[in-house]
Chain A
Amino acid sequence: MKTSRRGEIYDVMKVREDFPVLARKVNGHQLVYLDNAATSQKPRQVIAALVDYYERYNANVHRGVHTLSIEATDAYEEARAKVQKFINAPVPESVIWTRNTSESINLVAYAYARKHLKAGDEIVTTVMEHHSDLISWQQICKELGTRLRFIPRTEEGLIDLSTIDEIISARTKLVAVTHMSNVLGTIVPVREIAERAHAVGAVILVDGAQSVPHMPVDVQDLDCDFLAFSGHKMLGPTGIGVLYGKPEILEDMQPFMYGSDMILEVSYEGAKWNQLPYKFEAGTPNIADAIATGAAVDYLENLGMDAVWRHEQQLTAYALRRFAELENYRVVGPTDPSLRGGTISFTHDQVHPHDLGTALDRLGIAIRTGHHCAMPLVKSYGHAAVARASMYIYNHEGEIDHLIEGLKQAEGYFSHAGSRRS
């Protein structure tokens, strides 16, 4: 892996040229996009894949004998195979297209948990889940009479495994954990948790919404039973997600939705389910966005996920060093860059995150403010809201400098405001 003259792992400026939106000005300033944990921007190659499908071979899949339908089916299945390779899944049919991470998790809740769990069983999650990996399990617990238990965090915001053997016990039937916190940036030791889950005979689902776009993720190495993630956070379009499942577990599950494409044979009395993965893909799927997700995978593979991760680690370390210079801003979450990703939440001692967000927007800097769909976690730090800057492949140190400068300006603005004329 070569390092460019700017000390970068790949040429970030060249990468930026692939993202039309990054050339935009916002409120008279060059856009600095630091809301990647919410959604990433899209390169020309992904947008071109969408246009190409609609302009050249738009047709339904798995049905026609005509050329367009065959081409569409091939491209759709090729995209599945790309995702399979990307996460090192054993077979293409272990990759199911969904709408997003939330739908993938719901699929497991409805099609797996409802069938395999019963009253008295336990589901284990962590205290740093996104609402989509929390509410599904709360509802399953209400419905089935199962109990939800939580792996705690340390003061700093790392996962505390010291009581894991007590929390994941013989009563545990399902473990659902995030791979990277969308608030704290914390990397969750999924492999260790998976080992413990399997030792007690439980299955483990990993919410990879924040990890798959940013680091090499290998489902066989993690030994997870399910992995859920979204296309739109990894350069792909919105409206497309993935559920990976171990084939033998998926085989044993009932369909989640009923309709065309998911059946093999239908009579007026009943139906026989199609094989994997189609059993879980009822109706005409999101063909264009699946194909474009394949293009997004190509883009990331071309950079190399090791390089992507190293770039973000470098940038995170730089950003954390710059944050440490600021007297009244505090990072919420781990400060050791090797234990976290490039999602940095922070607060100011006096200025509310929402006011910070509005001030930064005036400077063209896009961050997110609020509870980030993790209300209990943000509350546990004593906040109702935090500000969050999150990075991706096209961000660079110059943009972090803009952010820090913007934060200083915002602080100055709100603290000197008393001397202004009303």
Chain B
Amino acid sequence: MQDLGDLDSLYRELILDHHRSPRNTEPLISPDVEVDAVNPFCGDEVKVQLKTSGGTLNGISVTGRGCSISQSSASMMGELVKGRSVEDAMRARRAFQALMKGEALTEDQLADLGDLEALQGVKRYPVRIKCALLAWSALEDALKRVRA
């Protein structure tokens, strides 16, 4: 696949793995909050359900349908924030958004993002950034409601 070889910087193996076998897709029974996000541009969907106690996300379900970028980002996001504090999740969201905007991240910020660093290549494909951010906008809404 010589011609498509330069796609490897976008479609890292970790991304395709999360797309093929997304994590944390079991729906929560009676979640505290539930948020749906849709990208009207392409029709991609992500649903985030959260259960919290004492400021910790002790239950998360992330489901949806769409392209490999939107769905892998959703799956990795769920893995990252599961069991973390609301503050940690908010910080991760800010770091991921900065990564997509092409801003320089500190080592701490990169470490905060874990596997999501694999999505770095997306910033070279501006029309796909919205795909990567879809799940995070749902998470942001959900976190705001948790805190409200």
- B-chain residues with CB within 8 Å of residue A352 when the two chains form the complex: 66-68
Q: Please indicate the chain A residues that have their CB under 8 angstroms from the CB of B20 in the complex.
A: 418
> In this assembly, does B36 line the interface, its C-beta being within 8 Å of a C-beta of chain A?
no
| C-alpha gap A362/B69 in the complex (Å) | 16
Q: Evaluate contact between B3 and A355: CB separation under 8 angstroms.
A: no
Cβ–Cβ contact A385 & B128, under 8 A: no
| Segment with Cβ contacts to A, from B5-13, B95-103, B136-144 | B5-13
Asked whether, in the complex, the Cβ of A362 is within 8 Å of the Cβ of B14, the reply is no
A384 touching B66 by the CB < 8 A rule?
A: yes
| Cross-interface CB contact of A362 among B7, B65, B128, cutoff 8 Å | B7
Asked whether A385 and B44 contact (CB < 8 A) given A354-B66, A420-B13, A422-B12, the answer is yes
Using A369-B42, A385-B43, A410-B4 as known contacts, say yes or no to A358 and B16 having CB atoms under 8 A apart.
no
**A422-B13 CB under 8 A given contacts A358-B128, A370-B41, A375-B43:** yes
Q: Mark interface residues in B1-43 (1 if CB within 8 Å of A CB, else 0).
A: 1011011101111101100100000000000000000000111
Q: For chain A residues 368-385, which have a beta carbon within 8 Å of chain B?
A: 369-371, 375, 378, 383-385
Contact between A384 and B65, CB atoms less than 8 A apart: yes
On whether the beta carbons of A362 and B6 are closer than 8 Å, the reply is yes
Task: Indicate if B77 sits at the interface (CB-CB under 8 A).
Answer: no
A416 at interface, CB cutoff 8 A: yes
Q: Which residue of B lies closest to A405 (CB)?
A: B3
Q: Give Cα A369–Cα B41 distance, bound, in whole angstroms.
A: 9
Count B-side interface residues using an 8 Å CB cutoff: 29
From A415, which residue of chain B is reached at the shortest CB distance? B16
User: Does B92 touch A at the CB level, under 8 Å?
Assistant: no
**Residues in chain B near residue A370, CB distance under 8 A:** 41-43
B42 nearest CB neighbor, chain A only: A370
Q: How far is the CB of A211 from chain B (nearest CB, A)?
A: 25
Interface: A54 (CB within 8 A) = no
Instruction: State A362–B67 Cα separation when bound (angstroms).
Output: 17
Tell which of A352, A370, A409, A413 has the most Cβ of chain B within 10 Å: A352
Complex CA–CA separation, A378 to B17 (angstroms): 27
Q: Is A5 an interface residue, CB under 8 A from the partner?
A: no
Contacts of B68 in A (CB 8 A): 352, 355, 414
Q: Verify A417–B13 contact, CB threshold 8 A.
A: yes
Q: In the complex, A412→B5 CA distance in Å? A: 11
Residues of chain A within 8 A of B112, CB atoms compared: none
What residues make up the interface of A, taking CB atoms closer than 8 Å to B?
29, 352-355, 358-359, 362-363, 369-371, 375, 378, 383-385, 409-410, 412-414, 416-418, 420-422
**Can you list 30 A-B contacts with CB-CB less than 8 angstroms, sorted by A residue number?**
A352-B67, A352-B68, A354-B70, A355-B68, A355-B69, A358-B7, A358-B125, A359-B7, A363-B4, A370-B41, A370-B43, A371-B42, A375-B43, A383-B43, A384-B42, A384-B43, A384-B65, A409-B1, A412-B1, A413-B4, A413-B7, A414-B16, A414-B68, A417-B11, A418-B17, A420-B8, A421-B13, A422-B12, A422-B13, A422-B118
Q: 3 shortest A-B CB distances, which residue pairs?
A: A422-B13, A384-B43, A354-B67
